[in-house]
A and B are shown apart, each in its own frame.
Chain A
Amino acid sequence: MKLASFRKKSPWILHYNAGGCNGCDIEILACLAPKYDIERFGMINTGNPKQSDILLVTGPVTKRSRERLVEIYDQMPEPKVVISCGACASTGGVFRGMYNCEGGIDQFIPVDVYVCGCGTRPEQIIDGVVQALGILEKKTKELEESVRLSKKPVQEGRQLNRRNIADEIKPLVS
């Protein structure tokens, strides 16, 4: 359908700081400012998990923030994409191994795009979001196509054998 091509033109971003130093957050805000102006691609910083498509996480996950992180991820409706923004969110960064931090957000929620740098540059963030849009498109397609989970029942003599007809799940879009 042609309407489907408009989907990736309005990614709404939710930004969550999981205990970082605010360096990456300022770079994300710089994306909204006149120099980079990501609103021209239709991106809005919504601040509301129930209406957003992309979760941008910065910071190593502190032990206080990990429950909130998982809760926010749960509240977002599918299809959704997670971007871990910066060295801390991806691996733990300089905070790795500290007693109050977990190393990286991918221990708790599935991450689709990793953006490197400490702090990340706005160009890199935009690049990551563009990659995430591709993944979002793929996920939307996967949600759309129904998955047939059953094989045909087997005729055994005079009986129709309906046992073991569950098919294994194959990825639809490669």
Chain B
Amino acid sequence: MNNLLIPVLLIILAPFIGGLVYGFERIVKARMQRRIGPPLLQPFYDFLKLADKRRMIVHSAHAFFGIMHFVSLWFAVGVLLMGGDLILVVFLHLLSSSLMILAGYSTRSIFSHLGANRTAMTLLAYEPVLILIAVSIYLVTGSFDVSSVYKMDQPLLYKLPLAFIALLLILPIKMKKSPFDVAEAHQEVVGGVELEFSGIFFEAVYTAKWLDYVFCYTLVYMFAGSNVLLGIGLMVFTFLYLNALDNSSARVNYRQMLRFSLGVACSLAFINLLIHSIF
């Protein structure tokens, strides 16, 4: 009962936690640029303001895709936190991203189409690495279940260090951070797929971004296994690394991103898999 309580609480509070992480990240990013930055609860102020705006939708399917994107992402986070099947987690996440791509294609806006194209490209970039990581976790633990990782006596990081580095390399793509933020390049394609959402329907997309934080940091935490201190250390390290990278690098185009992720990150994960299966 007790070991079920914490995941359930985490799942219910996941958007709230993600919002806090996002607010804190905005402060850290501002401090790195020697600015003061917004208050910690700024994402929630945005949330309340967006609820007041007039509802404007392009067509009902478009708004529906946005909401379903949020819901399916929440399911993915739920399965991940409950210790379910990692393959299921990856494919639920894929489903949520493809719903967003469908939403992008369903409007007539050219920016929306461009954003959808680019989101599809980012999917192509990070999804193979995620699958490879899931396969190598299967080879280590003998099960696709996330809960089997926490039962190991040794953290996953010591067995799959290169896979963790590969995860660190694809996280900026997944969380749409510079240098791999072609999908929602803010000055270039004005947010990409989220362009046509407004008011309360944009809120679903905006909150899904917070859920993505929870998803990514849980993936990072998974590499520490049962070692809680190491897990927190990994999460803090990843947080600082992502923000430093976001602040210090310029955007690359999608070809460079694809070449980097499939060439470097994917092969790192694959080498780790080979080493583990041979020795």
Among B36-44, B230-238, B249-257, the stretch that binds chain A is B36-44
Write the nearest CB–CB distance from B251 to chain A, whole angstroms: 15
Quick one: which of B44, B55, B191 contacts A48, CB cutoff 8 A? B191
A65 within 8 A of B: no
Interface hits, A134-174 → B, CB 8 Å: 140, 143
Write the nearest CB–CB distance from A73 to chain B, whole angstroms: 14
Beyond A7-B52, A39-B30, is A50–B202 a contact (Cβ under 8 Å)? yes
Interface hits, A1-46 → B, CB 8 Å: 3, 6-7, 9-10, 12, 34, 37, 39-42, 46
Write the nearest CB–CB distance from A64 to chain B, whole angstroms: 19
Write out the residue numbers on chain A whose beta carbons fall within 8 Å of the beta carbon of B53.
53, 77-79
Quick one: which of A3, A42, A77 contacts B46, CB cutoff 8 A? A42
A47 within 8 A of B: yes
Write the nearest CB–CB distance from B160 to chain A, whole angstroms: 39
Please determine whether B56 and A47 come into contact, CB atoms closer than 8 angstroms: no
Please determine whether B38 and A42 come into contact, CB atoms closer than 8 angstroms: yes
Please determine whether A37 and B30 come into contact, CB atoms closer than 8 angstroms: yes
B49 within 8 A of A: yes
Please determine whether B198 and A50 come into contact, CB atoms closer than 8 angstroms: yes
A164 to B31, CA, bound (A): 63
Write out the residue numbers on chain A whose beta carbons fall within 8 Å of the beta carbon of B52.
7, 79, 140
Please determine whether A10 and B49 come into contact, CB atoms closer than 8 angstroms: yes
B48 within 8 A of A: yes
Write out the residue numbers on chain A whose beta carbons fall within 8 Å of the beta carbon of B10.
none
Please determine whether A40 and B36 come into contact, CB atoms closer than 8 angstroms: yes
Chain B interface, DSSP helix/strand/loop, else mixed:
loop
Write out the residue numbers on chain A whose beta carbons fall within 8 Å of the beta carbon of B54.
77-79, 143
Please determine whether B190 and A48 come into contact, CB atoms closer than 8 angstroms: yes
Chain A residues with a Cβ closer than 8 Å to the other chain, count: 23
Write out the residue numbers on chain B whose beta carbons fall within 8 Å of the beta carbon of A48.
190-191, 195
A107 within 8 A of B: no
Beyond A39-B38, A42-B38, is A50–B45 a contact (Cβ under 8 Å)? no
B197 within 8 A of A: yes
Proximity bits, B54-73, A CB within 8 Å = 1, else 0: 11100000000000000000
Please determine whether A37 and B36 come into contact, CB atoms closer than 8 angstroms: yes
Write out the residue numbers on chain B whose beta carbons fall within 8 Å of the beta carbon of A140.
52
B277 within 8 A of A: no
Write out the residue numbers on chain A whose beta carbons fall within 8 Å of the beta carbon of B186.
46-47
Write out the residue numbers on chain A whose beta carbons fall within 8 Å of the beta carbon of B55.
77
B187 within 8 A of A: yes
Please determine whether A9 and B35 come into contact, CB atoms closer than 8 angstroms: no
| Chain A interfacial positions (CB closer than 8 Å to B) | 3, 6-7, 9-10, 12, 34, 37, 39-42, 46-48, 50-51, 53, 77-79, 140, 143
Subset of 10 A-B contacts with CB under 8 Å: A6-B44, A37-B35, A37-B37, A39-B26, A39-B35, A47-B190, A47-B191, A50-B202, A140-B52, A143-B54
